[in-house]
Amino acid sequence: MDLTKVIRTIPDYPKPGIMFRDITTLLNDARGFRRAVDELVLPHAGTRINKVAGIEARGFILGGAVAHQLSTSFVPVRKKGKLPYQTYTQEYDLEYGTDAVEIHIDAINAGERVLLVDDLIATGGTAEAAIKLIERAGGEVVACSFIVDLPDLGGRKRLESLGKNVIALCEFEGE
């Protein structure tokens, strides 16, 4: 199954010139969703993964399913101010300013092996911030897995330059 066939493209969203890759159509396709989760899990079968961390919001859906399949726990990486307990916070640059993501300070223990999951890798800023959070908590990011890679935006290269293994199930050209 070609996953690109079940991912909707919305032109000019959220702003003119952007081709938004909407995975909600993939999530709504039982066969496609199952295939995507299986393909995200497969490279890690038989390896020790202590936690799966998913980036808000679609990474929660995918990461939860992957954690379930790997029989491990799940860590939400949330936008700043959304978690109720003490947190580690990591800012990252946006085109128009900065944003921040957080994890609970007790979400990851020193030495735990963590798989980072999200729906899409574009510039890699949010994923890099999540990696820094996981490492600050003492975890080791063993891989970063995505459904979609937008290689023209350089996110994969950015994460690979940090020494991270990046897995993406499909690619789309452009932004």
Spell out the CATH class of 3-171.
alpha beta
Strand, helix or coil at 16? coil
Instruction: Give the model's pLDDT for residue 96.
Output: 73
Contact 112, 51 (CB under 8 A): yes
H helices of 48-154, where?
58-70, 125-136
Residues marked active site are found at: 58, 95
The pLDDT tens digits for 113-154 are 999 999 999 999 999 999 999 999 999 999 999 999 999 999
CA distances 19 to 8, 14, 103, 154, Å, are 10, 9, 30, 16
> Is the pLDDT reported for residue 33 higher than 80?
yes
Q: Higher confidence at residue 164 or residue 46?
A: 164
> Is the pLDDT reported for residue 95 higher than 90?
no
Instruction: Give the model's pLDDT for residue 2.
Output: 94
Instruction: Give the model's pLDDT for residue 144.
Output: 98
